[in-house]
Structure 1
Amino acid sequence: MITPRDELFGHASAAPIHQVQVRDTPHSVFTERFWYMGTVKPAGDMVFALGMGYYPNRRVMDGFAGITIGNVQYNYRASRRVGEGDLAIEAGALRIEVQAGLRMHRIVLAANESGIEMDLSFIGTMDINEEGRETITTRAGVIADLNRYAQCGRYEGWIRVNGNRIDLTPATCWGARDRSWGLRVEARTDETTPPVTHISPLLYAFFCAQFETRAIHFFLKEKAPGAYRFIAGSESGPFGEGAPCAQVLSVAHELTWHDDPLGQSLKSGSFTVGFADGRSKTLQVRALPGRFFHKGGLYGGLRGWFQGDDKGMQYAEHDRYDLACAADRTVLRTAGEQVIEIRDGDQVGYGTLQCGVSAGYPKYSSIQQHPAM
């Protein structure tokens, strides 16, 4: 059972806090991570994302914050070395404060050279959606043992971009976050620093969406339709009301894609979700304009910098990408947040979807010439 204490850095394994520290392996790194995203409904034409990772075996903490407005994605990244007993969730100009576990987080990106600043409160308006534990064992032993939960909510505060302030309110700024810890394997997709991880035939979909009074989250990885490598998720109700979460047992999909020469871009489609309580519902999905690519946060690596690398006592950098530029899109690849509108009958919700398809997956062949991640 997740408790407010799990919001704090300092886990020793993917299990409860008292267990002995798990060591890194040649294939994976013990990581604690926060991740957040938000968008403004109903337009969905702006999306921000940020995160912080702690790598206890390396004594390193790093983080990122960014925002996409129109066709421009702005990114800030920072890293620092962590001293004994130092678990402040901060790096460079970015810090995260857990003000009330499972309920209220404050996110601050102080003035810096990137041109973006933030002072946001994430308000957990929905109960958390637990994924539980994902463990992967190979001939080399256990290479992944990870615990994650997601939570939908609202944001309040402001973001400043090149001196222009954007005020955000809970009525229209909706989003989600996740919290994870454990031994993690991540695909290396930075082509400037080979080798690049080979991805076998796969569809992945990380879905976080909410309506006024409920949220649905699932994480799907499958090698063919219905042939799951991993599936987890649930439907949850308003925070603190005590309504039981309905576990997700199955996800089927029919997706259409933009004819985008620069990458994989969802256009619309449906997800049919089956729950442990016997219900099934088909969610109609339409992609909205907002897009934030995870390369801006070092997912998969960027120009030789990978999450958890030791960059010295303090290090920060920033950049921006033109999402209409072929060269920039080649660097950014596919993995990222795509803002979506969701319809369940006459109810309308909003969220983001991370989704990609690798070569050899027996569906959606028209987009498989582009990288899945």
Structure 2
Amino acid sequence: MNRGALSEMDDYPIHQVAEVVRHVGTSDRNFYDRYYFNCHGDMRGDEPDPWLIVGLGVYPNLGVVDGFAVIRRDDDHLVVRASKALGDNRNDLAIGPLKLEVLEGLQRLRMSLDPGHGEFSFDLVFDAEGPALLEPRHYQRQLERVTFDTMRFVQTGTWTGSLTVDGTAYDVQPDVWRGNRDRSWGVRPVGEAEPPGRRAAETDASSFFWIYAVMRFEEYSIVVVVQELRTGERVMGDAKRVWNDASREPEWLGRVEHEVEFVSGTREPAGATLRFVKPDGSSTAVRATPQVANYIGFGTGYGLEQDWRHGMWQGEEKVEAVRNTVSGFDPMMKMFCPVDHYSSFVYTDGAVTETGDGLFEFAVIGPHDPYGFPDYTATAP
């Protein structure tokens, strides 16, 4: 018996296959299990608070666990990223200076980045303000290969703790600092890039239109997810209202229709209207206004840099800090990864109007006929 394959998690009745917990039910190299968080304070005025995003992923079949933290403040784009060899214990979610702790499942989590690595550090606790929403399963096959088969849940909440950026300390209190977090797991492209084979000749196979919005209002959140192919055909689409009162069931708002306006010469959204249409033809709508963009594709592992991708082997342990400016980013490269926009939202239901804020994640990668992008490099007029 290989006792080294056991961990404390194997003492809980949570097994899904005839294996120890550290082994998942598929040998697909692209299986992953990850966390995402965003955190923002007062984003109004001439000097908005930092826009922090943190991710941590486990890649069992690649033998890697890695994570990142990225700050957008003014023109600064600051990243700390860390990677290490995955051990037996899935409760060990520390990678060098970056650490995640589940204090109470589906309610409280702590994330921290020790000082001395890059130009920022933090020690923050997330408290959920409503129930987690399990989203529809995300499944996509390209040619014969299943490229996406994932599950995800999402949750809004508040933050408490401390954040320091370039020597400036922020007292993070829940009446001001908010955000959302999600957990996803399954199969998606990770690790070292694989040879595309036939897919390289069929460029439409990699077109990716994406809207992921998590909007926080006073008594509820609205979660919208849309993925489309080049033609506008839906891979997935959903819109739900999640009440902070857990005794109320999530409400399906209707089929999602979108109208995105673009910044001229780019594929970045200047604004968007999302309409939710019920079978009887009635509809409600939300207006999204992006305010601060966090370009999570740069430096964090989402695929723009070929030497640091999520799940890539970096050795037993490696920690790096990367400092860039948003104004220095190549405008063309900005079009090849989703961008997380802190945004304001106005929801209209008949004569009732409510305001909120949160995440508007957006990407149009490759050709997309409904918005008139014939290839990978076309931009809005």
The normalised TM-score by structure 1 is 0.84
Partners of 2:34 and 2:340 in 1: CA distance:
17
**Cross-structure match for 1:5:** none
> How do 1:201-220 and structure 2 match up within 5 A?
201-220=207-226
1:243 to 2:244 alignment? no
Greater alpha carbon shift after TM alignment, 326-335 vs 129-138: 326-335
Query: Which runs of no fewer than 5 residues in structure 1 stay unpaired?
Result: 1-8
> Cα gap change, 1:17/1:208 in structure 2, threshold over 3 Å: closer, same or farther?
farther
Asked whether the equivalents of residues 50 and 72 of structure 2 are also in contact (C-alpha less than 8 Å), the reply is yes
Partners of 1:188 and 1:45 in 2: CA distance:
35
**Cross-structure match for 1:151:** 155
Instruction: Report deviation, 1:278.
Output: 8.5
Partners of 2:192 and 2:223 in 1: CA distance:
25
Instruction: Report deviation, 1:366.
Output: 6.7
> Cα gap change, 1:161/1:205 in structure 2, threshold over 3 Å: closer, same or farther?
same
Q: Which of 247, 259, 280 is matched with 1:254 structurally?
A: 259
Greater alpha carbon shift after TM alignment, 176-185 vs 331-340: 331-340
> How do 1:55-66 and structure 2 match up within 5 A?
55-66=59-70
Query: Matched residue pairs, number?
Result: 353
Instruction: Report deviation, 1:253.
Output: 1.0
Q: Which of 357, 363, 367 is matched with 1:356 structurally?
A: 363
Instruction: Report deviation, 1:227.
Output: 2.5
**Cross-structure match for 1:325:** 328
- Residues 61-98 of structure 1 deviation map (CA, whole Å, 9 limit, x = unaligned): 10001110001110000011122235311211111111
Instruction: Report deviation, 1:19.
Output: 2.7
Report the secondary structure of 2:136's partner residue. strand
Query: Which runs of no fewer than 5 residues in structure 2 stay unpaired?
Result: 1-7, 19-23
1:19 to 2:17 alignment? yes
Asked whether the equivalents of residues 272 and 281 of structure 1 are also in contact (C-alpha less than 8 Å), the reply is yes
Partners of 1:176 and 1:49 in 2: CA distance:
10
Q: Percent identity?
A: 21
> Cα gap change, 1:310/1:187 in structure 2, threshold over 3 Å: closer, same or farther?
closer
Partners of 2:270 and 2:336 in 1: CA distance:
17
**Cross-structure match for 2:4:** none
Q: Which of 159, 176, 179 is matched with 1:175 structurally?
A: 179
Partners of 2:34 and 2:346 in 1: CA distance:
31
**Cross-structure match for 2:319:** 316
> How do 1:29-68 and structure 2 match up within 5 A?
29-43=30-44, 46-68=50-72
Instruction: Report deviation, 1:368.
Output: 6.5
CA RMSD of aligned residues (A): 3.2
> How do 1:278-357 and structure 2 match up within 5 A?
280-327=283-330, 330=333, 333-345=336-348, 346-357=353-364
Report the secondary structure of 2:137's partner residue. strand
Asked whether the equivalents of residues 123 and 162 of structure 2 are also in contact (C-alpha less than 8 Å), the reply is yes
Report the secondary structure of 1:324's partner residue. helix
**Cross-structure match for 1:234:** 240
> Cα gap change, 1:292/1:157 in structure 2, threshold over 3 Å: closer, same or farther?
farther
**Cross-structure match for 2:133:** 129
> Cα gap change, 1:332/1:269 in structure 2, threshold over 3 Å: closer, same or farther?
closer
Higher relative contact order (CA 8 A, sep 6+): 1
Partners of 2:375 and 2:156 in 1: CA distance:
31
Partners of 2:309 and 2:147 in 1: CA distance:
18
Instruction: Report deviation, 1:362.
Output: 1.9
The normalised TM-score by structure 2 is 0.82
Partners of 2:331 and 2:242 in 1: CA distance:
38
1:108 to 2:106 alignment? no
Instruction: Report deviation, 1:127.
Output: 1.6
Partners of 1:88 and 1:187 in 2: CA distance:
21
Instruction: Report deviation, 1:273.
Output: 2.1
Asked whether the equivalents of residues 46 and 290 of structure 1 are also in contact (C-alpha less than 8 Å), the reply is no
